[in-house]
Amino acid sequence: MTEWTKEQRYQRYEDVDQQTIETLTEQVNQSKYRQIFHIQPKIGLLNDPNGLIYFKGNYYVSHQWFPLGPVHGLKYWYTYQSKDLVEFEAIGPTIKPDTKDDSHGVYSGSAFEYHDHLYYMYTANHRDSDWNRISTQHIAKMAKDGSINKFPKAVISEPPFGYTQHFRDPKVHVQNGVYYAMIAAQNIKKQGRILQYRSTDIVNWEFQGEIQTNLDDFGYMWECPDYFNLNGYDMLLFCPQGIDSEGERFKNIYQSGYIMGQYDINNLTMNHGDFHELDYGFDFYAPQTFLDENNQRILIGWMGLPEINYPSDADGWAHCLTIPRVLTIESGNLKQRPIKALEKLRTNEETALGYANKFTRQLHPYEGKQFELIIDILENEATEVYFEVRTSKTESTLITYNKREQKLTLDRSESGQLPGPVEGTTRSTYLDTPLSKLQLFVDTSSVEIFCNDGELVMTTRIFTDENATGIKTSTESGQTYLKFTKYDLKGDIK
């Protein structure tokens, strides 16, 4: 089905006959692009991660879900439970569009603890008879049996004066017994903003105002706000829409990044530096963070972007979530590292030491479709060094490092079928320090590249043929002394 009507996009999952669901499920299960260690939709479309929390010994991870096809339609929350953020068990659809206010979708939101119970705050989406959007903010409580009970009416019933109905994605945090909600908004000048509300009882929310930054004209909408303090720095994450690309920056359709500095929560003023992208790959958006059982700040993102068609669409599903990352600030810089618990997935360790030169070398017995590859660059006298994964006679995903510029480039021009419309087939960024280490997490249809032990990350979907399993290395000129460590990865997402 290529063109979806409004009626098809807003069908309720509960109203679809079981045979249709089983047929779609079988189609999705047959897809050659299904991941093994990433959260992905059992059918249909996954987007923003929502309601991430560690609560009473369990992690809860939800995501936006339209079950009936790889398009944006009537959204539910679909929830997983986990003990370690590696092995997940599906709970299923938890917050459903079953009231007038959320008749056209349960949109994004966050989880928080209040009086020893788990609560969610989310945006309800309703359309009137003229298809005008009406956005309200709601709260739901998880009962001891896991069921979800919505508060009887909206806790924030409309945007404040001066803002449009683009008013969504509440992220709740608590300081000194006061609950704060950061909400994505658009002012009537069509500029992206973040608004702050406060409450002491989670029922009555007072509008405090707009967070003041020096990004006055920076896109027409800011989505998915997140605020936290990390190692003494205040971090404000958001996703601006409508930013023009600048050289190698901002090349995706929408951006995802952060500003850091010091935030005065009472006066709503943020003293901050530049806006930095969180990820330099093709497919990363709408991240959300939370604290794990060890009080580490964990980030999970949507491995996808709106308004892009992906090759898995033809199989009845789209998108997945990234692996969880640990965030730290070190020497004033944000570091993002894969969570250590992912080491549980490792099997079949293989290591090799050797030189790469201008003659392309196939690494044997290094191959695979789902693996972790750690490349330590011990000596580098090459002008450019090349690493290729998921290679075959016709396909390759290429990582290039230019030593003089300290420039890292990801090229998916030969990575099989390509999503579209997307600007270009490469993404590049510049390292602060010479490249010494790459850590790659490769799943059936994705690559996540961590550079220099967390200095930056590049996240990308690839849609190669099943026989693209090779790993290669070479240089432009000169040689590089490398250590490779490869693990096959097993998956356990139920």
Q: In which element (H, E) is residue 145 found?
A: none
Residue among 449, 419, 389 nearest 318 (CA): 419
Residues 479 and 381: beta-carbon distance below 8 Å: yes
Strand intervals (E) in 188-293: 192-199, 206-210, 221-230, 233-241, 257-264, 269-272, 276-277, 285-291
Query: Average per-residue pLDDT in the chain?
Result: 96
**Residue whose token pair is 């049996």:** 145
Give the integer Cα–Cα distance in Å for 52 and 100: 26
Residues 415 and 491: beta-carbon distance below 8 Å: no
What is the DSSP track for 103-125? TT-EEEEEEEEETTEEEEEEEEE
Low-confidence ranges of the chain (pLDDT < 50): 1
What is the DSSP track for 381-399? --SEEEEEEEE-SS-EEEE
pLDDT, position 492: 65
Give the integer Cα–Cα distance in Å for 441 and 431: 20
CA 7 to chain centre: 29
Token code pair at residue 442: 């490769």
pLDDT, position 252: 97
HSE-CB of 190 using CA atoms within 13 angstroms: 4
- Which CATH number is 6-338's, of 2.60.40.770, 2.60.40.10, 3.40.30.10, 2.115.10.20? 2.115.10.20
Catalytic residue among 15, 17, 48, 376: 48
pLDDT, position 1: 45
Token code pair at residue 350: 């293989």
Contacts of 172 (CB under 8 A, 6+ apart): 110, 111, 112, 121, 179, 180, 181
Token code pair at residue 189: 């000048």
If one counts every other C-beta atom within 10 angstroms of the C-beta of residue 18, the result is 7
Strand intervals (E) in 392-478: 396-402, 407-414, 426-430, 437-443, 446-451, 456-461, 470-475
Is residue 48 annotated as part of the catalytic site, yes or no? yes
Give the integer Cα–Cα distance in Å for 80 and 300: 13
User: What is the CATH T-level fold of the domain 344-489, as seen in this structure?
Assistant: Jelly Rolls (2.60.120)
pLDDT, position 255: 98
pLDDT, position 173: 98
Cis? peptide before 365, omega within 30° of 0: yes
Going from N- to C-terminal start, the domains of the chain cover 6-338, 344-489
What is the DSSP track for 25-49? HHHHHT-TT--SSS---SSEEEEEE
Residue among 181, 196, 198 nearest 268 (CA): 196
pLDDT, position 242: 97
pLDDT, position 96: 98
Residues 484 and 368: beta-carbon distance below 8 Å: no
pLDDT, position 491: 82
pLDDT, position 363: 76
